[in-house]
Structure 1
């Protein structure tokens, strides 16, 4: 598993963990349900796209065309809850699936394709 840590101008951190089948976004601590990470630079977006092209060989950013392709919501089977991601005013806004995990969001290939497409549009 590959891991990278990103900081925003407000002292917040995001941990990106990459494995063979998905890309996860984590915080440092549990007990966090709502988390805002400011996009002060494109560094994290470039990293996510770079890792996506390595994890999924046929990765192609494209518009969401179904509910399963929309990155707004994901299901975390470990907590049996949904997590959410919204892009708002230059920030990534996460709602964690549980306060018992550091996981904020998990991308599969199709959700990452639509996310990168929207970020580049």
Structure 2
């Protein structure tokens, strides 16, 4: 994993979560802003998947459990898609809050992935 990219991902996910929480608690239904913020988090996760696949080939190997890392990554990839699907089906303010919950969960998961990759001893 790339350290600065991890912090960018966490920052974007937290900002997206705040946008979704504020919009949802203000009574807004899912809209282009909240869905777009969640989609941006998903795009960054796809880039992270590509980086994680390529990193060992350039000498950046995980120090922790590789299967655990990929379980976190695949789970994180599913969350925004599932939350977005929910938001499209249930057009209520609570769907917007669920988008925020998914984004904040992804922020935590990405930070944990960084710990597994770079901090945790094998």
By relative contact order (CA 8 Å, sep 6+), the higher-ranking structure is 2
Task: Tell which structure's C-alpha radius of gyration is larger.
Answer: 2
Name whichever structure is richer in helix by fraction.
2
Using the size of structure 1 for normalisation, the TM-score is 0.29
Using the size of structure 2 for normalisation, the TM-score is 0.29
Name whichever structure is richer in strand by fraction.
1
